[in-house]
Amino acid sequence: MTRRPIITDHALVRYLERVVGIDVEAHRRAIEERTALAVEHGACAVVSEGWRYTITDCHVTTVMPRRRDLALPRMLPAEDEA
């Protein structure tokens, strides 16, 4: 079996930042702006522009579509269900 590299999140972020040229800190500030008031009020999440920002102990831990089902591809019914 051929061994394949495992790319860590850290390596991926550095690649996007240094190779692709994405300003990661600008995006961090944008997230901070969208979540600051929610953190200040002790919220566990906030929805902004259709995205849900999950907050744990003042840390924004993940971002996902407000409605998860909208992000998933629609499955076609099996032939025996159609």
pLDDT of the residue at 74: 56
CA atoms 58, 60, 65, 71: torsion sign: negative
Using the CB atoms, write b or e for 8-30: b if 16+ within 10 Å. eeeeeeeeeeeeeeeeeeeeeee
User: What predicted TM-score, i.e. pTM, was given to this entire model?
Assistant: 0.72
For the chain, the structural domain boundaries read 8-42
pLDDT of the residue at 78: 60
Instruction: Name, in order, each residue with C-beta under 8 angstroms of 34's C-beta and a sequence gap of 6 or more.
Output: 46, 48, 49, 53
pLDDT of the residue at 31: 98
If you average pLDDT over residues 13-19, what whole number do you get? 98
The rounded distance, in Å, linking the Cα atoms of 36 and 53 is: 11
Nearest to residue 70, comparing CAs of 50, 55, 54, 53?
50
Q: What is the pLDDT of residues 19-50, one digit of tens each?
A: 999 999 999 999 999 999 999 999 999 999 99
